[in-house]
Amino acid sequence: MRAGALAAPMYIVEERTIGPSLGADNIELGVKSVTVGMALVLLFMLVIYRGFGVFANIALAMNLVLLVAFMSLMGATLTLPGIAGIV
């Protein structure tokens, strides 16, 4: 398997370490994206479906609450792709 490998030297050009604030920034951005996305979806459904949009929005909000509650009971981690899937 190693017959085709080239013996090229590796030089470290730059090395960085990141702190825990990067995770906090991701959480803050995730909460903001869910809030903005949910608001836009609710507004769209109110405009398009009018009266029935109110009932659809209530159902959507309950779905989000139940999903977050179930994930917290299971101890699941909410990642940015997961947030995008929820939105």
Q: Residue 20: pLDDT above 80? A: no
Per-residue pLDDT tens digits for 32-86: 987 898 899 889 999 999 889 999 999 988 998 999 899 989 998 878 788 778 7
- pTM attached to this predicted model: 0.56
Helix (H) or strand (E) holding 17: none
Torsion sign (Cα): 47, 64, 85, 30: positive
Q: In the prediction, which pLDDT does 13 show?
A: 86
Q: Is 30 exposed, middle or buried (0-12, 13-18, 19+ CB in 10 A)?
A: middle
Q: In the prediction, which pLDDT does 2 show?
A: 58
> Within 10 Å of residue 7's Cβ, how many Cβ atoms?
4
**Extents of the domains making up the chain:** 21-86
Do residues 33 and 79 lie in contact, with contact meaning Cβ atoms separated by under 8 Å? Answer: no
